[in-house]
Amino acid sequence: MRIALNARILQAPRTGIGQYLVELVAALRAQPELDLELFHGWSWSRQLPEAALPGYGRWTALARCLPGAYGIRRRLEQRHFSRGIEKAPVDLYHEPSLWPLDFDGPTVMTVHDLTHLHYPETQPRERLAEIERRIGPAMERARLILTDSQFVADEITAHYGVAPERLVVAPLGHAPRFHPRPPEALAPRLSAFGLRPGRYLLCVGTLEPRKNLTLALRAYRRLPAGLRRRFPLLIVGMPGWKQRTLAGELRDALADGSVRLLGYQPDDVLAELLAGARLLLFPSLYEGFGLPVLEALASGVPVLLSPRSALPEVAGEAGIYLEADDEPGWNEAIVRLIEDDQAWLRQRTLGLEQASRFSWQRCARITAAAYRRALEG
């Protein structure tokens, strides 16, 4: 079974969808009947790129200023895609992000979330217009639609009228690098950041309003000054839409040194930062899955999170749920999980048990079964 898989998203630094693609491809290659051909936007290969395209951020910034840039790029990619298919035909095309390119054969697409509906401002105007124009027809053409969670599958049915039998839930997994680590294994990496294992809190996510980082900042700043000095708060993530709305909160929080903005971190660094954290704070308002939550649980780190969207599907009984606007409640939970070692250990055990239910191998098996079903018509 020859599968064309669009890997163009890997031109950008790897965040959620990029990680999904990398891990899924690795797991699918263990399926003996699958032969994967990866499309990179301009070329084809069987290999994943080792790093993002140099200068990708500058190109993206320029594209936002050029009228019609997204449409032009789309047409060029379609031309290269179609030429590749003509030279080496495939049985099925899998689009892992939002809207597929044109393809005459069976298509499977993955819809990770409907952020464009709930938070349209997170997309550049032209890209949003392309999404709105293409996603409905794409869903109609696709034989099957994969989702990361039942929550997103239900949203797709409600918003786009897609029959439930055309939706396949394939929960994500966690990479082997996310696992508990002894303090001595973490010390070299953490010391480079001036950190000690188990003596800091962590937020992971793009700096944009739907991640609700202002709530985490406000709850954290309620801690006594001494506790903040002992347990600094690290924020790891790429700049996002309207980061300036966080500027005031961040400026005040950064002033005394207890909050640190680390920006985007490579995969191996993030894995060690997660494993060394006392807690992950994840007050997001909307997630199609919430991969950092699963990765933290797999690393033996308790998670405080909001009971919104797909997050309860991921964290299950291991999550410590607090409403996304309950600043005092978040503050109290942070203090309790810092000071009560027994409570922390209970959550750690629950988290490891919950994480064991998810794997990329399972995601790949469900995905491969969807390919077979799509080919059967």
* CATH assignment of the domain containing 195: 3.40.50.2000
Residues 193 and 129 in one domain: no
Helices (H), the chain: 16-28, 56-65, 69-87, 115-118, 125-141, 150-160, 183-192, 213-221, 225-230, 247-255, 267-276, 291-298, 311-315, 327-339, 341-355, 360-375
Yes or no: say if 6 and 100 are a contact pair by the CB < 8 Å rule.
yes
More confident residue, 81 or 247: 81
Q: Under DSSP, is residue 109 helix (H, G, I), strand (E, B) or coil? A: strand
pLDDT tens per residue across span 65-102? 666 777 788 899 999 999 999 999 999 999 998 889 99
For residue 209, pLDDT beyond 90? no
Which of the two residues, 121 and 331, has the higher pLDDT score? 331
> How far, in Å, CA of 196 to CA of 299, rounded?
16
The pLDDT value given to residue 134: 85
Q: Count how many domains the chain has.
A: 2
Q: Are residues 16 and 162 in the same domain?
A: yes
Left if phi > 0, otherwise alpha if psi is -120 to 50, otherwise beta: which for 309?
Answer: left
> Is 178 a member of any domain?
no
Model confidence, pTM: 0.91
pLDDT of residue 356: 98
Q: Count CB-CB contacts under 10 A for residue 366.
A: 14
**By the 8 A CB rule, do 318 and 353 touch?**
yes
What percentage of the chain has pLDDT greater than the value 70? 92
Query: Which of residues 122 and 366 earns the better pLDDT score?
Result: 366
* 372 or 74: which leads in pLDDT: 372
Q: What angle do CA 327, 352, 231 make, to 5 degrees?
A: 40
Are 10 and 132 within one domain?
Answer: yes
The HSE-up count of residue 130 (CA atoms within 13 Å, CB side) is 18
* 223 in any annotated domain: yes
Instruction: Write down the pLDDT at residue 300.
Output: 98
What is 184-203 written as a DSSP string? HHHHHHHHHTT--TTS-EEE
Exposed, middle or buried: residue 377 (CB in 10 Å: 0-12, 13-18, 19+)?
exposed
pLDDT at 67: 67
Which residue segment(s) compose the domain that 106 sits in?
A: 2-173+360-375
Based on the domain organization, do 77 and 190 belong to the same domain? Answer: no
In a domain, 313, yes or no: yes
